[in-house]
A = this chain, B = another copy of it.
């Protein structure tokens, strides 16, 4: 294979330049979000917990009753190949998101003039947007809780990673219209802290870790990673119903996500988290170090290297 400077993706059986991966406009994921996906990231040339992501992807598919026509093993292999084929396009200090997306395809009842009505399956990668997010690692995240509640499981499970994101988007717009740099964390239908767009939340209280119950959130792989690391470090970890009283009194709050790994919050609803001046509290710091060791990549430094104005002091 010859190297190009356009990334390639796998699309229904072929590797194509991304600009040729195009979707018929009657595909049910474009008209109805009728599809699902999963996404992991690389760390220094290795894909992070790909098996867990693929397992979760097939759970989403089972929930939606979509058969992608590709086995989990093949999907794993394709993900690795996509990464390999695009590796040379990574800049310095960069890593990829590596993702799989499956739509239900075009409904023959809506368009019987096209030939293919099966699922559209894509495996692709793209660089993590370090520059836009570097500031969060230096200054910490401002969390705002919007009024919109996370869709309840009795309407659509939050645990499948589907292509229906409007609940999270509408909620995030409430927040970003007021404070463009703030991060929205929604409450669930019962008024408990829930999750943000692609992100989980952790509180530290009395030196113990708390995070919302799996039933109401996407069980993030990074969330699981942090829970594992905490357990190894001897920290207590509990899934629990948490509310604003917990959040306002937390010693530390942080967010986990595939790309961010772990990033601290400095305020929630304008209420300062932890002691004045703290961005990285002791628990977040320890976990970030352990995380970096485990993935063999100092992701905090990686983000900071991409800051627009360069040269931040490393927070720890």
A residues adjacent to B (C-beta < 8 A): 6-7, 9, 11, 18-19, 21-35, 37, 59, 62-65, 101, 103, 109-111, 113-114, 122, 124, 126, 129, 132, 144-157, 159-160, 162-167, 169-170, 173-174, 176-179, 182, 187, 189-191, 213, 215, 240-241, 243-245, 248-249, 269-271
Contacts and interface: CB of A to CB of B under 8 A. Distances in A.
Contact of A33 (B122, B163, B189): B163
Contacts of A151: 151, 155-156, 167
15 contacts: A22-B22, A22-B25, A23-B23, A23-B30, A29-B30, A30-B101, A31-B101, A33-B34, A34-B166, A148-B155, A148-B156, A154-B187, A160-B245, A162-B166, A164-B167
Contacts of A21: 24-25
A191 B155 CA distance: 9
A173 B65 contact: yes
Given A63-B245, A63-B248, A178-B269, 14 more contacts: A25-B124, A28-B165, A30-B35, A32-B163, A33-B165, A63-B170, A65-B173, A148-B244, A149-B152, A156-B167, A162-B166, A163-B166, A176-B270, A215-B240
